[in-house]
Amino acid sequence: MYSFGFLRPTSVSDAAAALGDEEAQALGGGQTLIPALKQRLASPSKLVSLGGIAEIRGVCRDDAGRVCIGGGTTHATVAREAAAHFPALAAMANRIGDPAVRNKGTIGGSLANNDPSACYPAAVLGAGATVITNAREIAAEDFFDGMFTTALKPGEIITEVKFPVPQAANYQKFVQPASRFALTGVFVARFAEGVRVAVTGASESGVFRWAEAEEALSRSFAPEAVKGLVVSPEGMIGDLHGTPDYRANLVRVLTARAVAAAG
């Protein structure tokens, strides 16, 4: 580690002001940033902790029936408090990392970092959620912009994420045992207007929607609907944990499992 300044504001406005310094960086639960600091992959001169901002924590329902989750809400809280409203989202949150990670990591930190194998991006894109910041609202399709990249501007803070609640949904992931990240993960959500399928952990370009599966499942929401589909390995991640072909096959297999579990 190295020396840096540390601020812990108690309001979004104060945090945004502190992040106006181009050398400052926001700190959520620290489950990604702190290891990056230790490895010198990031070296901000000032950390602005969002952990003291009560207004961006909690889970509720709005007048439109959406599940609204504060950006500073931990995975463990999502798992507990969203269970009655959006069971698939709560179940997904309950399988992120280990208990230590779930009790410190936050939904806002996960989305802002946009790790290519993180679970929340699949849920946000799969459910067609809206990311709310201190400056604007960003649709899921416009938020993710490649590996570790999002539409967030410098100093912009995720204050809330609003999830439409599907008629049925499920998330399936093939866990990389050491990190507990998704080697590949698929979030399937069925709405009255059609089915959405979002994939994480597989593509070099980050989370994406599988359009062919969405079309097939919108016609027939059954595992058999995707068994004849082929996912191209082109652009898929290849590493010591799995080849591009392996991940491409996992996309199809996990989608079928998610559909079966969603019912």
The domain that holds 139 is classified in CATH as 3.30.465.10
- The domain in which residue 194 lies consists of 168-262
Closest CA to 92 of 125, 128, 119: 119
Q: Which of 133, 114, 134 is nearest to 124 (CA)?
A: 114
For residues 137 and 183, membership in a common domain is answered with no
What was the pLDDT predicted at 5?
84
Task: Write down which residue in 163, 180, 205 finishes a domain.
Answer: 163
CB 205 within 8 A of CB 146: yes
Cα torsion angle, 52, 56, 60, 63, sign:
positive
- Claim to verify: residue 21 and residue 76 sit in the same structural domain: yes
pLDDT at 26: 87
Is 103 found in the same domain as 143?
Answer: yes
Q: Do 44 and 147 fall into the same domain? A: yes
CA–CA dist 81, 83 (Å, integer): 6
Which residues have a Cβ under 8 Å from the Cβ of 208 and sit 6 or more positions away? 125, 198, 199
pTM assigned to the model: 0.94
What pLDDT digit, counting tens, does each position of 59-81 carry?
Answer: 999 999 999 999 999 999 999 99
Q: Which two tokens stand for residue 86?
A: 């959006």
Average pLDDT in the 194-208 region? Answer: 97
What pLDDT does residue 181 have?
A: 84
In sequence order, the 6+-apart residues with CB closer than 8 A to the CB of 13 are: 134
The last residue of one of the domains, among 141, 163, 185, is 163
Residue 127's pLDDT band, with cuts at 50, 70 and 90, is very high
How far is residue 186's CA from residue 223's CA, in Å, rounded to a whole number? 13
Last residue of a domain, one of 119, 139, 163: 163
Q: Is the pLDDT of residue 41 over 70?
A: no
* Euclidean distance between CA atoms 85 and 132, whole angstroms: 20
**Which pair of tokens denotes residue 135?**
């400056």
Q: Do 136 and 173 share a domain, yes or no? A: no
The answer to whether residues 124 and 218 belong to one domain is no
Task: Check residue 220 and give its pLDDT.
Answer: 98
pLDDT of residue 46: 84
Domain check: are 89 and 120 in the same one?
Answer: yes
Same domain, 102 and 10: yes
The reply to whether 120 and 198 lie within a common domain is no
pLDDT in tens, 250-261: 999 999 999 999
Per the structure, how many domains does the chain have? 2
Which has more pLDDT, 112 or 45? 112
Query: pLDDT above 90 covers what percent of the chain?
Result: 79
Q: Provide mean pLDDT across the span 175-195.
A: 92
In 3D space, the residue among 155, 173, 213, 205 whose CA is nearest the CA of residue 189 turns out to be: 213
Predicted confidence band at 160 (pLDDT cuts at 50, 70, 90)?
Answer: very high
What is the pairing mode between strands 46-49 and 24-27? Answer: parallel
Do residue 61 and residue 152 come from a single domain?
A: yes
Do residue 175 and residue 99 come from a single domain?
A: no
Q: Are residues 139 and 10 in the same domain?
A: yes
Q: What is the pLDDT of residues 210-257, one digit of tens each?
A: 999 999 999 999 999 999 999 999 999 999 999 999 999 999 999 999
Q: What is the CATH number of the domain that holds 249?
A: 3.30.390.50
